[in-house]
Amino acid sequence: MGLTRYLMTPTSRRVALKGLISASAMAHAVKMQFVSAQDSEAPTPATFKQPQTLIVGGLDSRQQGEPENSDVLMLARVDLAAKLVRVISIPRDLYIDIPGFGADKITRAYDFGSKSQNGKFKAGAELMKATIEQSFGVSIDGVVLTTFHGFEHVVDAFGGVDVNNPYDVADDQYPTLDYGYMSIFFPAGEQTLTGEQALQFCRTRHQDGDPGRVMRQQLVLRGLLDKAASPDYAGTLWDIVKEKKKEVRTDLGPSKQLAYALAVPDFTNDNVSFSTLDNYVYADSAPNGMWIYSGAWDQIPTFVEQFLAGQIQGSPSP
């Protein structure tokens, strides 16, 4: 390289230098165009003047045309200004009036709405909103749903999720996605779960019923928050949101999604509260003999609003 420099004539050195400068300038321009293009994909974050109340759920979505029931259903109030989140888990078997469709398990609301308009997410989301608003007495600002596979992929995007399992969990009849059965086992103690394992951990309930299942779902959500708020992911959350956008169905616009993604690193589990409706529901049978949870509807709306508003603590949670 040094010998070549001395063998070059002054004219050829000037030509080479101009070429090098031009190449550098071109590379810089291309880089700036790429950065600008990337930045243009990120909308301006939304500004929330008031806490937002969201329906958050997981859909049992398998083959096209089959029912898409909300296997997991939660009601969350997110206060970005105060960095507070309060979440109530709603039993999927809660018997409720679904506007336009009559009384049924709340798990069916999304599917009824979606199927009424050829599988459209928006129709399913709107019926979920109408169902919750009518019976729970709260206004809903948005819906965020994922599927079984979507949940697995989101967990894997964070390199798995860490949980501290309070006791051994065994299930010899865990339902597989192809409608078969398998045996699963999660020992007590700290462990890192893959997306597939996290789904199993959240879904199993043969050993300890719905209360145990809800408890495990909350443990996984807390673990995911710890991961998302860690320095390892603080600068990449929006990239993960964009990469996994097909895994999530939501009626929140890009600016709202960005606002939530940017706010995550400021949240800690100390400011997240979970509760359930355990004290307000009881096992029952529908008129057709179907097993359900009936609810104390003279008390549920008041409890839900007071808990979401931070006026009461609700039932214990992880």
Average pLDDT, 10 consecutive residues per value, the chain (318 residues): 37 38 35 36 84 95 82 95 95 97 98 95 97 97 93 92 97 90 97 96 94 94 91 74 82 91 89 94 97 97 96 73
Asked if residue 107 is part of any domain, the answer here is yes
**29 and 121, same domain (yes or no):** no
286's tokens: 């529908």
Structural domain of 10: 2-41
**34 and 122, same domain (yes or no):** no
214's tokens: 């809800």
**Residue 178 and residue 198: Cα distance in Å, rounded?**
18
pTM: 0.83
Residue 244's nearest CA partner among 157, 177, 170 is 157
**100 and 149, same domain (yes or no):** yes
Q: Which amino acid is at 270?
A: D
CA–CA–CA angle 242, 245, 248 (5° rounding): 150
Rg of the Cα trace of the chain? 25
Report how far apart the first and last C-alpha atoms of the chain are (Å, whole number).
Answer: 65
Asked if residue 291 is part of any domain, the answer here is yes
**Residue 202 and residue 192: Cα distance in Å, rounded?**
14
**35 and 57, same domain (yes or no):** no
Residue 222's nearest CA partner among 317, 83, 114 is 317
